[in-house]
Amino acid sequence: MPAMHTLISCIKAPAKRHLFSTTTLVIAVFCNNCLAAEIDSFSARDAYPSDALSAINSELNRRFNNALKQANKAPSCQPKILYDALRYHLAGEQDKLVGNDIVSQLGQLPNIPTVLVQRKTSVYRDIPIWSGIDLYTGGLGATMRIDNFVIGTDKIGHFLAQGWQYFAETQVQHKGLDEMMHWGEQTEDSYYGFWTTGIYSHADLTANFNGYRFWQRIIAPVSDPLHQFHTPYLACENGQWVKQRNIDMADYIDGAWDEGNNCLEFSSQSIKKSVEENIALLSAHNKQQLNCPIQPQSCQHAVDKYQGYAKDLLQTKCLKQ
């Protein structure tokens, strides 16, 4: 395996972000490609024809294998070429690993069973345009069922794109994981959350964190912050990258990815009140308990899984289960 310092030196550092500048605000409001779509995890929990895990795994492994073929055209195991190829193919053969692009791609694949709730019938229907501009200009993202959890396709975008951001910044800029998790919180406070939808998603942060774990695991699983992974996805043998195991999203996805469990926060009390009233109406209509957390036991599992990181990933209601 190439030395870790070689990996660090060859990953291109991401551009610096100035989160609260006027320019960023303009981009946040008008650039749909820069935003993760909001999803409704409440309105169609019983509408899924099948579990999407197998289809998601198949698609991600297809892209991963294409990246591996490209990387192995190099004369030796070169981490920069490998990571460039992975980012390109996991992004759907696009030059930039943008979460919103991945969201659109997964939502359109016929073999991945998804449900799309329209804003006008969603629990967010009463959020005004000035508080949730992206709900109106970008609409809602698709959701899918994985292991009885309702997961937005946006979470796969967070997993791959923001997970890469966490990984690259820690490797190149030598930032700590805690610092990158704080950056993730700032994005929910601003252009991925409050500024554009009026909604702060702890499930997004959970997907970001697990994406960091995924990228760490490509060739160096000993760095897993939860100490659960011991075999990397790839090993270098005779100058070629050799796949050790397939991607299985069940290694990462849990109930904390479900916004019905890892409860949302809102930019104002009026938005919070309107969403909670709509969830209560939905609960009464469907005769089922939809108040967050819908599955308290999944929160208990998440607290055990994430240990010291739980306080930064789980919303208070979920954390206290």
The domain segmentation of the chain, as residue ranges, is 4-319
Angle between helices 53-71 and 79-90 (to 10 degrees): 140
User: Judging by DSSP bridges, how do beta strands 199-200 and 240-243 pair with one another?
Assistant: unpaired
pLDDT at 33: 44
* pLDDT recorded at residue 22: 43
The predicted pLDDT at position 167 comes to: 94
Query: What does the CA dihedral 48, 53, 57, 59 come to, rounded to 10 degrees?
Result: 0
Q: Which helix (H) or strand (E) holds 215?
A: helix 202-217
The DSSP bridge partners found for residue 240 are 237
pTM exceeds cut of 0.85: yes
pLDDT of residue 119: 92
| Distant-in-sequence, close-in-space partners of 127: CB < 8 Å, separation ≥ 6 | 135, 197, 198, 271, 274, 275
pLDDT at 4: 41
Please report, for residues 146, 259, 264, 292, the alpha-carbon distance to residue 286 in angstroms, rounded to integers and kept in the order given. 21, 18, 21, 15
Q: What is the DSSP letter of 61?
A: H
Element (H, E) at 199: strand 199-200
Distance CA 30, CA 33 (A): 9
Tracing tokens 């942060």 back to the chain, one arrives at 205
pLDDT below 70 — which residues of the chain?
A: 1-36, 221-222
Chain-centroid distance of CA 278 in Å reads: 26
Q: Give the separation between CA 2 and CA 219, rounded to whole angstroms.
A: 9
CB 258 within 8 A of CB 298: yes
Instruction: Confirm if 120 and 135 have CB atoms less than 8 A apart.
Output: no
Which pLDDT does position 221 carry in this prediction? 66
CA–CA gap between residue 44 and residue 143 (Å, rounded): 9
pLDDT of residue 31: 43
